[in-house]
Structure 1
């Protein structure tokens, strides 16, 4: 399992190779953060009903309009469908709390929870590999003095 994680992280790192050093540094920071998050820090439960709700919301008129507005095309809801089918095979239909002793005795439940955690980590790796607006834009370090001025002029910025 650890070997697969290392291979996945290496592939993830290759996606972030860029000639721009500043962007490269930000991406290296993201990779470092993902490496620090071990599988145990991810959720252990995935509800079939919540995954089904995500699929319905995506295929609904509002979800399609939102996707068309953002990306100029309708969505096939691949991520939501994959999550739903993963939840069908590995998720749960009820929220059940188990004691540590009971969980330690149930190898199948332990394996299921580990699969769910690995799934959430893979999803995080995929999202980080896609990049974000932070690759191009920098976070503002100082607050604007008068962010809602009606008609800004160069003189007002010096105040």
Structure 2
């Protein structure tokens, strides 16, 4: 009998219908016949004694999207994403691509000098150095290196250095306006 007793199972009396009644056409569920078109399809199915599935599309509510907050470049990255930039194999591939014959010939043709791969070599050395450190120390080293690279990039000349703020128009333009 098992681990449960007969008294613990609720008993319900179920009447079984005759064999002839089970061959009648199946009626669609009540949820499917809520619209007039579904009722007409169900009536047509009952008349032809062929089961027809009537499916109604559920109503879709509009999606409201809140604006995302503005974040700094490194804020959205997860810690494992930060390590993805410092793979030793990727750093070796970049160094090999920089110092390859084709890249140096192209650089010599365009600029008259061979390519300087010192930055890629430093990146490879840094990738090798963080592999021996714990994750907390490596994360601090990465943040310090990123801050140093950002400061170095800001100190270099950029497109904003071309423009100078003037308080009055240049003398050449003033003379041209007087003559013309």
Q: TM-score range by the shorter chain?
A: 0.3 to 0.5
- For normalisation by structure 1, the TM-score amounts to 0.45
Larger Rg: 2
Greater RCO, 1 or 2 (C-alpha within 8 Å, sep 6+) = 1
More helix per residue: 1 or 2?
1
